[in-house]
Amino acid sequence: MSYINDALRKVQKEKKSYSVPYSHIISTPEKKLDRPQKLLLLIGTLLVFFSVAGIIVLLYWPEDKKMQEKPLAMEPLPAQEKASVLPVESQVVKETITVTNKKAELKRETTSAETKLKPVITDSQVLYTQALQKQQEGKLEEARGLYKKVIKIDRLNVQALNNLGVIYMSQRNYKKAITCFHDALNIKHDYVDAHYNLACLYAQKKDTQQSLFYLKSAIEFDPQARQWAKSDSDLKALADLPEFKNLVEKPEN
């Protein structure tokens, strides 16, 4: 047995010694493909490549194209939402305009009605007539306001000045009454009504001398003032004075 083993080892050793110098170029032999098999393999590889490339293009190309066409565009609202928003806004604007127009019309109607109810009177004669009526009715405050308006329009209206003085005198506001009477006399010095009223005013103040002075002036400008004085209670402070009797009892020429 040992002989056989030695022989086998010797053969194996010799076999290895032959292959060592060529070990760097000898490799396991590969199975070579014939030409039809190579062609089929190439075609299959190309088909797989193009299939994968096609799938990749189909997956990504539409989205890239959409982003390039509209890079910053906002997504539009659905048609239903637009239809529900725009008409409401338009209706609100329309209602606002309608309400504003109604207010403007109401204001114009109110102004027109007030103008008709309260006409502006600028005619001094009309105002004087109204003031005289109020004075005769005993509505002295209203009459006083109207007379002031007359004088503001017509500063030379001696009748308004005289009647305003009479109102002040009835209210015991003698200072303002005297001013009114004198203003009338400065415009028309022979205005008998103002002279006579000053005589009555000073009689109420117990100033008999001033009262007799203006009474005499009134009678000189209009002898009819003598008849007024005979029955005027405002001159009762002069009734017992001889000068007064001589003035009122002197016969007319």
Q: What is the CA radius of gyration of the chain?
A: 66
- Reference 87, options 95, 76, 75, 99; nearest CA is 95
pLDDT bracket for residue 35 (50, 70, 90): low
Tokens coding 128: 């004087």
CATH code, domain with 137: 1.25.40.10
Cα angle, residue 81 at apex, residues 76 and 85 outer, rounded to 5°? 110
Judgement on whether residues 176 and 214 belong to the same structural domain of the protein: no
Longest dimension (CA), the chain: 208
- CB of 124 closer than 8 Å to CB of 154: yes
**36 domain residue, yes or no:** no
- Reference 174, options 145, 207, 141, 150; nearest CA is 207
Q: Which of 133, 158, 187 is the last residue of a domain?
A: 187
Distance of CA 8 to the CA centre of its chain: 126
- Reference 242, options 219, 212, 218; nearest CA is 212
**158 domain residue, yes or no:** yes
| Average pLDDT score over the chain | 75
**9 domain residue, yes or no:** no
Q: What are the phi and psi torsion angles at 191 (to 5°)? A: -75, 105
Judgement on whether residues 194 and 252 belong to the same structural domain of the protein: yes
pLDDT, tens digit (0-9, with 9 covering 90-100), for 5-22: 565 566 555 544 444 443
Distance of CA 73 to the CA centre of its chain: 41
pLDDT, tens digit (0-9, with 9 covering 90-100), for 168-223: 999 999 999 999 999 999 999 999 999 999 999 999 999 999 999 999 999 999 99
pLDDT recorded at residue 3: 56
For the chain, how many structural domains are there in total?
2
Residue 104 has pLDDT above 70, yes or no: no
pLDDT, tens digit (0-9, with 9 covering 90-100), for 18-33: 444 433 433 334 444 5
pLDDT, tens digit (0-9, with 9 covering 90-100), for 131-170: 999 999 999 999 999 999 999 999 999 999 999 999 999 9
Tokens coding 200: 């009555």
Which residue segment(s) compose the domain that 153 sits in? 118-187
Which residue has 């189909």 as its token pair?
A: 58
